[in-house]
Structure 1
Amino acid sequence: MLFKFKSRATADVIMLEPNGKQLLEIIGKSPNEPHGIITAAQIPAAIRALEEAVAVEEAAAAATAPDEDDQTEEEAPRGDGVRLRQRAAPFIDMLRRSAAEDCDVVW
């Protein structure tokens, strides 16, 4: 399943289900609903929530990151390499542009 976020102010933002659910949970919306709305009035709080979640993730990653000088390439931790900041950036941009034009975001 995909999440397709729409606004009259921007092009659509399409996300895979796990990523869309994660962002909706962060902003306090139910990801289990097939359709929903983020009103223009709710957008500033949604942006703050996403930015705080990004900051928390980055702080946690920095705190648990091993010293790179002590590791060889084989020992380096592997992950998907895509952080919340990168996944949320298009959505945050959509929210900012929608707020500027006083438009709602729907999915």
Structure 2
Amino acid sequence: MLYKFKSKAAGDLIMMGPTGDQVLRIIGKEPAPQGIIEPAAMAAAIAALERAVAEDEAARAQAEKEAQAEGRTPAPRDGVSLRQRAWPMVEMLRRAQAENHEIVWGV
């Protein structure tokens, strides 16, 4: 499934299903074919995404530190980081919040 997030405040944002599911879960929404993020919920959504990115990066740094302490090479990163995947949504949320517009998908 593809997610196409839309807002009058920003261009459309397209995410592949697994990434869209992950982002929606992080902001407290259940993945669904259709949905809406109201302006009142956007500050909390931005904070949740920023917190998830920080936790992901801290876990990666800890894993690298432990690998180095054990004298082994840290595992390579898995493609695109959560920061890179979440950044477009954070930007869309900020713009939509600033202009008091909702974000919808599947409509």
TM-score scaled to structure 2, two decimals?
Answer: 0.88
The 1-side partners of 2:100 and 2:74 are apart by 46
Deviations 1:49-78, CA, capped at 9 Å, x for gaps: 0000001101110001133xx55xxx5523
Q: Distance in 2 between matches of 1:30 and 1:96?
A: 21
Q: Secondary structure at the match of 1:13?
A: strand
Question: What is the root-mean-square deviation in Å for CA atoms of aligned residues?
Answer: 1.5
| Secondary structure of residue in 1 paired with 2:39 | coil
Equivalent residue number for residue 23 of structure 1 = 23
Aligned to 2:5: 5
* CA distance, structure 2, for counterparts of residue 12 and residue 44 of structure 1: 20
1:82 is aligned to 2:86: no
Aligned residues: 102
Identity value in percent: 53
Contact 2:49-2:86 at 8 Å conserved across structures: yes
Q: Which runs of 5+ in 1 are unaligned?
A: none
Deviations 1:16-64 (CA, angstroms, capped at 9, x unpaired): 0000000000001010x21100000000000000000001101110001
Flag structure 2 segments of 5+ consecutive residues without an equivalent: none
